[in-house]
Structure 1
Amino acid sequence: MTVTRDSITDFVRTLEDDISRVAICGTSYSDIGGVARVIEQQAIELRNGGYDIDIFTLEGTRKPPEDVSLHALGHFETSPYKEVDKLLTLASPSALNFVRSANRFDLIITHRFPFSTLGHMAKVIHNVPYVYWSHPSGSSDELFEGLAHAWARVQHHLETQNYAVRKADYLCAVSEESGEYIEAKTGREAVVVPNTITESRFGDVADEKKINEQFGLTPHDTIVLHVGRISPRKNIHRLIEAFQAATEGEAECKLLLVGEESMPEYSDRVRELADDDVVLTGFVDDKTLAGIYNRSNVYATCSLSEGWGLPLSEASYFDLEIVAFESIPAVNSLDGAYPVVNEDYDEFREKLCEKVNRD
């Protein structure tokens, strides 16, 4: 039977009594990326619970929460596909220094490789309890080609089945589906701790007039929103196709794609598909993002694999109706969310058409 905890603080308090200083580790702590948002939420909640928190990351460009220390280890840059360089990070002086000084902490929480391996090394050397926080719900290597395809396969193995993951003191997952997945890969029981949003991010909301002016919208436009990197993993091209089919003949309907364009070749493909009713906003700050959520009518995603789906939780916070495939755990747990049979694009288009026309 899967064990579920209501929050990260609830989980930590079920562990040893003498935990006071916690390291939370992930590959990136920046303004983009779902894992960075989870780390931020965990840091704030544990800080509010009375713990001393340090965040360790390879790249740290986002301001950390108040009273939380941020340490950016950096990484090698030796290949055109920087993800591969994470393998070399294990041998970097900053990574080795992290392991050497890990006995400062009473608990290490790691998100993704290479911190899974570094956490395991700290456990072996210093006997510091190590938590591996699992995010993946399936491999997405089929969405990539060439070196990216090979790395996706390697990274999926490193984050589900390798020795460091299997030997963690505790395995945690963000949903029951992700918990079952990592349990099948490791043979270990996982503790489910659902993701929650950081409400303080959305305390300042850009007004509707400003959002309309900034992104070329009219007050009468119905807005379908997607938030996330413009990448094959998010299946953006299929979302555009579904939107265009669902809104054919609708003059006042726009699809807003909010997220960084980090893969030029895929961005070119997306822009070729996009017509005047598809708006790529690029990265936006929290105030603007809150304004976009507040301005939008429907949230839609064709992503086939998410550990949880944090933007869906954010959309629900702003009372948006949501259309997404049932393989995304969040869609099965949120009010106003409508799960669609996985890869049934006809049903997806019909459901999206229904929501757009009703609004």
Structure 2
Amino acid sequence: MDDPINSVSRISFLGDNQFSEFIREVLPGDPSQHAIVILISYFLKSEGASRVAEFQARELSKRGYSVIVYTFESDIDPIGYNVRIIDSWVQKYASRLNVLYRALFPFNLWKALKISLDLKKSSLIIVHQETLVIVAYFAKLFYHTQVIYWHHHIAESRFLPLKVRLYKVAISPFNWKKIKKFDQVVSISNHSKAILQHEKGIESIVIYDEIDSSRFNRNNVDEEPIRTKYHIGSDDPVILFVGRIVPTKNIHSLIVAFKIVKICLPNVKLIVVGKSYDNQYSEDLARACDLSVIFAGFVSDEELPYYYAACDVYATCSLVEGFNMPLVEAQACGKPVVAFDIGPHREVIKNGFLVDEGDIVEFGNAIIKIFSTNMIP
């Protein structure tokens, strides 16, 4: 376990540039003269890449750009921009084939050409995820539209389910050949940048994911609503985790570390916020816990700051990250954090502890140390 990283008054990550400055460099002049298209497979409140794309869409529209998001599926209410759903007969008549349809979309050349024609007058296309790379490629090829690929992360194969590994072998190379022809590639951390260069031989610039500082800060939220909702005493210590409920988030290890903390702090609570993507894994987690572990399910961005306000420590045992936005949000809300020393965590942790990967005992001890020192705000 490293020594605690000093607390800072403002959490800031500059990377090579910041998003709004970067766009002004790419599209100089009057924003009202430019149309920007964002392509993303899923535009959902529960998806990390979607949160980044949503931030970009809102930020660009506020600055005067015309913004349209093209996606297969969305549950996000657009504010200042438009969302267009890419429909298909599969969605209407065979919904179970949706995943396969989207995976094979790079070979749906006719549909991709039709969509690219709609983008003919766009000044810029930002592509998140690989699925719609072919659309951006055609727009660049035929209409000379500028294209940026927003690279979130390349996970190690050992962490991927079989169907994703098959996708990487059979389809992903087709997409990366196109990405290499784009005008720019952006990575969300230096860690992801290094992996991209090593795995694909592609250079990129780093622009860290940005959070909504008007929402996630230490000044404007109250902890009482969450403590009242879950009947948590005002003096009960609270540990928080936010993220998808999947094995790579390693929540089972976090629960083991929590039990170590509970030996010293019997009234401690653990709140796990996030949507389940693996029913069996979620059921196994629930069986391993008592009532001191609270599974809150999916929580909207509007409500999420109240959870950060209610916690004393934010903790994650995640094994795979490209950036880890909840770590940044928690620190912006003034909370110390504990995480394994993996991926980009040395880049994003400003206030808390880094623990050697897999050392659950030290992880639990780091949380205890925070409670026993003056690191709690």
Query: Normalised by the size of structure 2, how large is the TM-score?
Result: 0.84
Deviation, structure 1 residue 275: 1.9
2:353 and 2:337 map into 1 onto residues whose CA distance is 6
| 2:52 counterpart residue number | 38
| 2:9 counterpart residue number | none
| Gap change, CA 1:82 and 1:49, over 3 Å in 2 | same
User: Alignment partner of 2:41: what SS?
Assistant: strand
2:111 and 2:296 map into 1 onto residues whose CA distance is 36
1:35 and 1:63 map into 2 onto residues whose CA distance is 16
User: Alignment partner of 1:70: what SS?
Assistant: strand
User: Alignment partner of 2:77: what SS?
Assistant: coil
Deviation, structure 1 residue 16: 5.2
Find runs of 4+ consecutive structure 1 residues off by over 6 angstroms. 203-206
Residue 243 of structure 1 pairs with residue 241 of structure 2:
no
Map 1:300-339 onto structure 2 (within 5 A). Answer: 300-339=315-354
| 2:138 counterpart residue number | 121
Tell me if the contact between 1:113 and 1:159 (Cα under 8 Å) persists in the aligned partners: no
1:115 and 1:44 map into 2 onto residues whose CA distance is 21
Residue 233 of structure 1 pairs with residue 233 of structure 2:
no
Residue 174 of structure 1 pairs with residue 191 of structure 2:
no
Residue 70 of structure 1 pairs with residue 87 of structure 2:
no
Deviation, structure 1 residue 170: 0.8
Deviation, structure 1 residue 115: 1.9
| Gap change, CA 1:168 and 1:293, over 3 Å in 2 | same
Query: 67-76 or 184-193: which moved more?
Result: 67-76
User: Alignment partner of 1:248: what SS?
Assistant: helix
Deviation, structure 1 residue 350: 2.2
2:366 to 347, 351, 354: 351
1:341 to 340, 356, 375: 356
1:82 and 1:143 map into 2 onto residues whose CA distance is 23
1:298 and 1:191 map into 2 onto residues whose CA distance is 32
Deviation, structure 1 residue 73: 1.7
User: Alignment partner of 1:43: what SS?
Assistant: helix
Structure 1: stretches of 5+ with no match in the other structure: none
Tell me if the contact between 1:8 and 1:46 (Cα under 8 Å) persists in the aligned partners: no
1:256 and 1:322 map into 2 onto residues whose CA distance is 14
Map 1:128-167 onto structure 2 (within 5 A). Answer: 128-139=145-156, 141-143=157-159, 148-152=161-165, 154-155=167-168, 158=172, 162-167=176-181
| Gap change, CA 1:244 and 1:116, over 3 Å in 2 | farther
Listed one character per residue, the Cα deviations across residues 82-133 of structure 1 (whole Å, up to 9, x for unaligned) are: 6444223443976553222121211100110202232223222322121111
Map 1:41-60 onto structure 2 (within 5 A). Answer: 41-60=55-74
1:160 and 1:245 map into 2 onto residues whose CA distance is 47
2:163 and 2:95 map into 1 onto residues whose CA distance is 14
Map 1:231-310 onto structure 2 (within 5 A). Answer: 231-310=246-325
Listed one character per residue, the Cα deviations across residues 205-229 of structure 1 (whole Å, up to 9, x for unaligned) are: 7643321222231212111111111
Tell me if the contact between 1:23 and 1:54 (Cα under 8 Å) persists in the aligned partners: yes
Count of aligned positions:
352
Question: Which structure has the higher relative contact order (CA within 8 Å, separation 6+)?
Answer: 2
| 1:27 counterpart residue number | 41
2:69 and 2:133 map into 1 onto residues whose CA distance is 14
1:221 and 1:60 map into 2 onto residues whose CA distance is 38
- Larger Rg: 1 or 2? 2
Tell me if the contact between 1:205 and 1:288 (Cα under 8 Å) persists in the aligned partners: no
Deviation, structure 1 residue 318: 0.5
Query: 95-104 or 27-36: which moved more?
Result: 95-104
Structure 2: stretches of 5+ with no match in the other structure: 1-13
Query: 247-256 or 86-95: which moved more?
Result: 86-95
Listed one character per residue, the Cα deviations across residues 227-272 of structure 1 (whole Å, up to 9, x for unaligned) are: 1111112111111112112322522111110011232111111112
User: Alignment partner of 1:110: what SS?
Assistant: strand
| Gap change, CA 1:27 and 1:159, over 3 Å in 2 | farther
1:87 and 1:341 map into 2 onto residues whose CA distance is 36
2:204 to 179, 190, 196: 190
Tell me if the contact between 1:25 and 1:111 (Cα under 8 Å) persists in the aligned partners: yes
**Letter in structure 1 aligned against 2:232:** L
| Gap change, CA 1:287 and 1:130, over 3 Å in 2 | closer
Deviation, structure 1 residue 355: 2.0
Tell me if the contact between 1:229 and 1:259 (Cα under 8 Å) persists in the aligned partners: yes
Tell me if the contact between 2:127 and 2:149 (Cα under 8 Å) persists in the aligned partners: yes
| Gap change, CA 1:94 and 1:211, over 3 Å in 2 | farther
Listed one character per residue, the Cα deviations across residues 269-304 of structure 1 (whole Å, up to 9, x for unaligned) are: 111222221110011233431111111111111111
Deviation, structure 1 residue 153: 5.2
